[in-house]
């Protein structure tokens, strides 16, 4: 064992209680940092995952970011237009399957169309408003979780009868309909069809389950009175993070507005960054406070060991060697604290993961915890750096001591 190490160990061993206190300070700091990071990033990831899962990564709609070009602009290089209204264009995406085919030709991911329409469900003499969404059962599972949210029946049951409908579980309950029942659906312009309930869906979000119904594209188009048009083409990219670039390309190619989930939730993602900043500030403060304890211990040891330091220096030990002894002591407290802190943080994360949350708006959930080695390395690294700094200042003071001052006084 090196001289520095053996002296440092001796000092630490002779002060078990103080060491333990310092160690607990670091451990608490590291433990809470790890747990907080696990919780914060866990909930953030969970939220984003839910967002990414629940939403199409890219939504292509018939809106445009700019008004469509005037015919004169197509004809001339430069025109100035006064007093003209923008040309009227019909809402909806034309030739959806041609567009889907062209996107699919290069897209890493999946594409599905949908038609949104407002309707009134009439059953057992009562009217209930609902949003009826037309989907393509073969494509839908690739872009949304609807297929997994069917609780009775299946998505392909939509093909079973000419006008089939899947009701949200809450909606079905509200109107009292069951699978096999026939409901009357009244569309926007009074178009009425009779549809058979073939399945029930359940997302776990009450608001959706009480208001949504799904049909085939064709059925929804009839209800909305827009044969051949869809309202939205949803794209699910293989890599959710590349959605922004892909959306730009789709928009450039189709000239339909394509909004990635990143763009749609920009404010939310910015809020996460602020939240992360706050977390880092708090974690930093915790670890800083923990290092005060270490500073205190090393200061105390250097004071108690003034005489030993003097004799070591008088014998010819270099100042940097003396400094190393006390920085090493701080690091030893730091390392033990970090190890204990990791265990504490892991245990607290496990505990937090057991906490169940009940909400009237959602199914009960557990706190989402993210176990990431990065959190442990980061908290450990910061704690060790703080320990080294906490040890450095008293160590430097101790190392600069003039042995003759102490020896003169003691002889």
Partner 1 sequence: MSLPAAAPLVRPLIETRGVTRVIGGDIPTTLVAGIDFAVQPGEFVAVTGPSGSGKSSLLYLLGLLDKPTTGEVYVNGKATSELSEDARAALRLSSLGFVFQFHFLLPEFSAMDNVMLPMRALGKLGDKEMKARALDILASLGLADHARKRPDQMSGGQRQRVAIARALANDPLVILADEPTGNLDTVSSGQVLSIMRNLADSSRVDYAKAIIIVTHDLDLAAKADRRVHIVDGRIAAPALQND
Binding-residue total with partner 1 (CB under 8 A): 28
300 binds partner 1 (CB under 8 A): no
> Of 140, 232, 308, 329, which one interacts with partner 1 (CB under 8 A)?
308
7 binds partner 1 (CB under 8 A): yes
Whose Cβ is closer to partner 1: residue 3's or residue 355's?
A: 3
Helix/strand/coil (H, E, C) string of 81-111? CCCCCCCCCCCCECCHHHHHHHHHCCCCEEE
Closest Cα to residue 96, out of 87, 86, 104, 108?
104
411 binds partner 1 (CB under 8 A): yes
174 binds partner 1 (CB under 8 A): no
The whole-angstrom separation of Cα 338 and Cα 349 is 16
In the block, residue with structure tokens 């809470």: 32
366 binds partner 1 (CB under 8 A): no
310 binds partner 1 (CB under 8 A): yes
The residue count of the chain comes to: 411
Stretch of residues binding partner 1 (CB under 8 A), selected from 267-275, 309-317, 341-349, 363-371: 309-317
Whose Cβ is closer to partner 1: residue 13's or residue 64's?
A: 13
Q: At what angle do helices 373-399 and 306-315 cross, to 10 degrees?
A: 70
Q: 275: helix, coil or strand?
A: helix
> Of 78, 84, 88, 315, which one interacts with partner 1 (CB under 8 A)?
315
The whole-angstrom separation of Cα 342 and Cα 37 is 12
Q: In the window 228-257, what residues touch partner 1 (CB under 8 A)?
A: none
Least distance in angstroms from the C-beta of 314 to partner 1 = 6
Residues contacting residue 241 through CB under 8 Å, at least 6 positions apart: 262
Q: In the window 8-27, what residues touch partner 1 (CB under 8 A)?
A: 10-11, 13-14
Q: 129: helix, coil or strand?
A: strand
Whose Cβ is closer to partner 1: residue 130's or residue 312's?
A: 312
Whose Cβ is closer to partner 1: residue 193's or residue 407's?
A: 407
> Of 154, 182, 192, 314, which one interacts with partner 1 (CB under 8 A)?
314
Least distance in angstroms from the C-beta of 22 to partner 1 = 19
**CA distances (Å), 43 to each of 175, 243, 321, 360, in order?**
36, 22, 47, 19
Least distance in angstroms from the C-beta of 346 to partner 1 = 35
The whole-angstrom separation of Cα 379 and Cα 314 is 40
375 binds partner 1 (CB under 8 A): no
Whose Cβ is closer to partner 1: residue 160's or residue 320's?
A: 320
Whose Cβ is closer to partner 1: residue 6's or residue 95's?
A: 6
The whole-angstrom separation of Cα 260 and Cα 109 is 14
Count of alpha carbons within 13 angstroms of residue 251, beta-carbon side: 18
193 binds partner 1 (CB under 8 A): no
Q: 236: helix, coil or strand?
A: strand
Closest Cα to residue 163, out of 101, 205, 119?
119
Q: In the window 320-339, what residues touch partner 1 (CB under 8 A)?
A: 320-321
The whole-angstrom separation of Cα 297 and Cα 400 is 19
Binding-site ranges for partner 1 (CB under 8 A): 2-3, 6-7, 10-11, 13-14, 307-308, 310-321, 403-404, 407-408, 410-411
């Amino acid at each position: 064992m090196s001289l520095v190490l053996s002296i440092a160990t001796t000092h630490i061993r002779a002060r078990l209680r103080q060491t333990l206190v310092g160690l607990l300070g670091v451990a608490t700091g590291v433990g809470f940092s790890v747990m907080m990071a696990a919780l914060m990033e866990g909930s953030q990831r969970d939220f984003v995952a839910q967002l990414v899962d629940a939403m199409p990564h890219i939504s292509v709609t018939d809106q445009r970011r700019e008004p469509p070009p005037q015919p004169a602009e197509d004809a001339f290089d430069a025109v100035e237009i006064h007093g003209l209204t923008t040309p009227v264009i019909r809402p909806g995406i034309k030739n959806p399957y041609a567009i889907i085919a062209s996107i699919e030709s290069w897209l890493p991911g999946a594409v599905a169309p949908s038609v949104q329409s407002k309707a009134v469900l009439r059953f057992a003499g009562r009217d209930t408003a609902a949003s009826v969404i037309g989907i393509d059962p073969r494509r839908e599972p690739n872009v949304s979780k609807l297929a997994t949210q069917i609780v009775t029946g299946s998505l392909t049951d939509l093909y079973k009868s000419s006008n089939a409908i899947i009701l949200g579980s809450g909606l079905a309950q509200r109107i009292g309909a069951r699978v096999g029942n026939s409901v009357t659906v009244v569309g926007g312009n009074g178009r009425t069809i009779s549809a058979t309930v073939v399945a029930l869906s359940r997302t776990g979000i009450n608001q959706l389950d009480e208001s949504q119904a799904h049909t085939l594209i064709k059925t929804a188009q009839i209800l909305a009175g827009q044969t051949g048009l869809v309202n939205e083409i949803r794209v699910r990219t293989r890599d959710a993070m590349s959605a922004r670039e892909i959306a730009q390309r789709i928009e450039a190619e189709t000239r339909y507005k394509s909004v990635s989930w990143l763009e749609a939730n920009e404010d939310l993602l910015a809020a996460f960054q602020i939240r992360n900043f706050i977390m880092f500030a708090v974690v930093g403060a915790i670890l800083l406070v923990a290092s005060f304890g270490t500073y205190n211990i090393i200061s105390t040891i250097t004071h108690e060991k003034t005489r030993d330091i003097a004799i070591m220096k008088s014998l010819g030990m270099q100042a940097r060697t003396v400094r190393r002894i006390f920085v090493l002591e701080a690091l030893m407290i730091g390392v033990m604290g970090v190890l204990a802190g990791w265990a504490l943080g892991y245990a607290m994360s496990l505990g937090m993961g057991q906490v169940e949350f009940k909400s009237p708006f959602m199914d009960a959930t557990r706190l989402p915890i993210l176990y990431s080695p990065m959190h442990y390395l980061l908290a450990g690294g910061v704690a060790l750096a703080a320990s080294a700094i906490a040890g450095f200042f008293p160590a430097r003071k101790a190392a600069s001591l003039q042995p003759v001052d102490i020896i003169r006084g003691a002889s």
